Amino acid sequence: MTITASPCIKDSCLMVRGKVVFTEVPQNVVVSPAISNSSAFIGAASTTQSSRHVFSLGFLEKYKFLCLFRFKIWWMIPRVGKSGSEIPMETQMLLLEAREEFALHDEVSSDAAADNTFYILLLPVLEGQFRTSLQGTPENELQFCIESGDASVQTLQVDEAVFVNSGDNPFVLVKDSIKILEKRKGTFSHLENKKIPAHLDWFGWCTWDAFYTEVNPQGIKEGLQSFLEGGCSPKFLIIDDGWQQTTNEFQKEGEPPIEGTQFAARLVDIKENSKFKCSGSDNICTDLHEFIDDIKEKYGLKYVYMWHALAGYWGGVLTSSEVMKKYHPKLAYPIQSPGNVGNLRDIVIDSLEKYGVGIIDPEKISDFYNDLHCYLARSGVDGVKVDVQNLLETLGSGHGGRVSLTRQYQQALEQSIARNFKDNNLICSMSHNSDSIYSSKQSAVARASEDFTPREPTFQTLHIASVAFNSLLLGEIVVPDWDMFHSKHETAEFHAAARALGGCAVYVSDKPGVHDFKILKKLVLSDGSILRARYAGRPTRDCLFKDPVMDGKSLLKIWNLNKLSGVIGVFNCQGAGSWPVKEIAEHISPTPSTISGHVRPIDVEFLEEVAGENWHGQCAVYAFNSGILSKLSKKGNLEVSLATLQCEIYTVSPIKEFGQNLLFAPIGLLDMYNSGGAVDTVNCIIELSECIIKIKGKGCGRFGAYSNTKPKRCMLDMKEEEFTYNAEDGLLTVELHGECKLREIEFVY
């Protein structure tokens, strides 16, 4: 593609790279160039002042689209379609697939058509005190809605409400767009400019599903002990909701609970509750500090995180609390926008509309966070998970609006984290509004989907698909957190495989004694570290405009990169659930028991970058579950057939030429889901008549590689080691014994 003209309006049409995107664009819509030649901002003007405007962009032409929208106040999910009428309220990213033809044909799969494909990205962003979202109409019109969340914060016009850009590679397009917005807006940072928390590289345990709010020191110790006895100890721990001093004025003791009042509970003090004082029958630990010191020493924990809500607790703080009075809290009642109630209403916000929130004065929120985090840090806590963040968008009235209030809280939070904890140790959650996304200057980890729900069988496939698609946007700003899962669960393998290639933290929420260590040991090395891939796991390019949950025919493929290889996970998410707020068409036939698709090395984006020199396009492809090693060209393919809730992981390692006629590709630890994550470096030394392949690899277990010939000998940490070689497929295997450390492996030819 060589057309790079900036988007513009011509003859009442919005044009991008010579293509008509919108027709009948109203005269009040304006387009102004952004930093790059291919991008621009869209704004509009009204004749009346208002805190909320809905402007038309015109009628959307028939492009295949992928959008990310908030189906409820806290979380985004994806939707694909072909008309503007299918684009929901609260859409926060819209990606269109365009070709040289004026409009798309349904089935075009040739290489020629793929070469002619480009992508158009629309991102509704923040401008001043206003945030923007997109929404379609039944007439295929696309609108953008701007709102401040405060009736007194009004405007007549916006100039940079929607960002539009185009490119040939959708992943590069999103990354470049986020970097342009980072520079132009100055309100957030790209992930490359953030400090990444160290806990991400270690196995973790979260107390939530294990105990819910009944979490207590004895239960935590029992859980850590059961992991230890199974030979797979967590190195980071999240003590979730249930440790704080809270009160609920709306639940009377002895009376049955009223649905919704549980969310009206409020924080009384920054210190731990009575469960974490004089813990256990022996009373060895008298407070949180002693307890954390004790479990770190006994169980080898490196990081302990504590949970709290952005407002303190679900219902904020208790305004009458003596401890809280210095933060000048006031009772406020959430005001939901049409977008909040336009898709799925949420019981938390609906309840708080009735019971109110004790909100801390924005001028005092820095003091609150600093006091809380300073106390926790002195108690041995290493970081925090901060939840219920989007609540603030409903409390902007009287505070300059939702964007202003969110940014004030976000900045105070990030400053307190930097002041009190090392390594930017913060996990954000329930934060999928653009107010938070585009106010994230330092926060480097955020939950990427609704909770893992172990007792909801129809939610499992949605969880995997949601995170993968949401990571297209979120993965440029934060490391997406895939949430916990259960190692002993009917979908454990499905969830474990996804997290292995998600580039994310790996943590479970098992009840004490309820574990599947066979699964855990495919994720976690003996020292508690994990083989984390380099980027956010995202759908492959050929999956972007398909529905892997409800179309009855498409497999979900997720790609990622390691240092020297690629990895592709293939998941059958069909037939096990339905997207929220999406009608199920009556004519759709039942989902087949097994679905087939193809895996290709070129499904891994940027594979050539890790391949380096001396790569001629051949790859060794190792299938984890079947153990089959195949040799493919980069455009070759393997057929894969999977039943619902089944998956397969493929390590894709570029085959390079070393010396004379030696073809070699490292695979990694064959018994780990992300095998290639164990390979650190590969070098070749030619000495006299010998060619020596030197590998640095991490971990223990079967280490595999592809080789077109059998080596003379193998050396492991300078000692000769036995190896096996299969001449039929070229699989070379050596057993790594001993400590879980970086090993030096040499194959001598």
Predicted confidence (pLDDT) per residue in 427-452, tens digit: 999 999 999 999 999 999 999 999 99
Backbone φ and ψ for 346, nearest 5 degrees, come out as: -125, 135
**Is the CB of residue 165 less than 8 Å from the CB of residue 177?**
yes
Burial class (CB in 10 A: 0-12, 13-18, 19+), 717: middle
pLDDT at 105: 47
CA max distance for the chain: 86
Q: What mean pLDDT comes out for the span 606-620?
A: 94
In the numeric block, which tokens belong to residue 435? Answer: 């107010």
Spatial distance between the Cα atoms of 240 and 186, rounded to a whole number of angstroms: 33
**3-state secondary structure labels for all residues of 452-464:** CCCCCHHHHHHHH
User: Does the pTM exceed 0.85?
Assistant: yes
- pLDDT tier, 687 (very low <50, low <70, confident <90, very high otherwise): confident
Q: Is the pLDDT score of 656 beyond 60?
A: yes
35-40-46-49 Cα dihedral, nearest 10 degrees: -40
Tens of pLDDT, residues 311-337: 999 999 999 999 999 999 999 999 999
Partnered with residue 95 across adjacent β-strands are 66, 121
Q: Is the pLDDT score of 181 beyond 60?
A: yes
Between 659 and 171, the more confident residue is: 171
Between 584 and 306, the more confident residue is: 306
Return the amino acid letter for 539.
P
In the numeric block, which tokens belong to residue 740? Answer: 């879980």
pLDDT at 1: 41
- pLDDT tier, 160 (very low <50, low <70, confident <90, very high otherwise): very high
Residue whose pair of structure tokens reads 């140790």 in the numeric block: 425
Where are the extended beta strands (E) located within 168-284?
203-206, 236-239, 244-247, 266-272
Q: What mean pLDDT comes out for the span 170-175?
A: 98
Residue 503's closest CA among 467, 537, 538? Answer: 537
- β-pair type (236-239, 303-309): parallel
pLDDT at 436: 98
Q: What mean pLDDT comes out for the span 246-255?
A: 90
Neighbours of 673 (CB within 10 A): 26
- pLDDT tier, 743 (very low <50, low <70, confident <90, very high otherwise): very high
Q: Is the pLDDT score of 102 beyond 90?
A: no
Q: Is the pLDDT score of 220 beyond 70?
A: yes
Q: What mean pLDDT comes out for the span 624-632?
A: 98
Q: Is the pLDDT score of 233 beyond 70?
A: yes
Return the amino acid letter for 109.
S
Tens of pLDDT, residues 534-562: 999 999 999 999 999 999 999 999 999 99
**Is the CB of residue 468 less than 8 Å from the CB of residue 573?**
no
Neighbours of 105 (CB within 10 A): 8
Q: Is the pLDDT score of 103 beyond 50?
A: no
Tens of pLDDT, residues 490-540: 999 999 999 999 999 999 999 999 999 999 999 999 999 999 999 999 999
Q: What mean pLDDT comes out for the span 601-614?
A: 95
Partnered with residue 707 across adjacent β-strands are 664
Task: Please name the helix (run of DSSP H) or strand (run of DSSP E) that holds residue 526, with its range, or none.
Answer: none
Q: What mean pLDDT comes out for the span 578-603?
A: 85
Q: What mean pLDDT comes out for the span 43-65?
A: 97
Neighbours of 729 (CB within 10 A): 14
Task: Please name the helix (run of DSSP H) or strand (run of DSSP E) that holds residue 321, with its range, or none.
Answer: none
Give the three-class secondary structure for 172: helix
**Is the CB of residue 672 less than 8 Å from the CB of residue 701?**
yes
Q: Is the pLDDT score of 279 beyond 80?
A: no
pLDDT at 115: 75
Mean pLDDT of the chain: 95
Q: Is the pLDDT score of 2 beyond 60?
A: no
Tens of pLDDT, residues 343-380: 999 999 999 999 999 999 999 999 999 999 999 999 99
Q: What mean pLDDT comes out for the span 50-74?
A: 97
Spatial distance between the Cα atoms of 38 and 29, rounded to a whole number of angstroms: 19
- pLDDT tier, 3 (very low <50, low <70, confident <90, very high otherwise): low
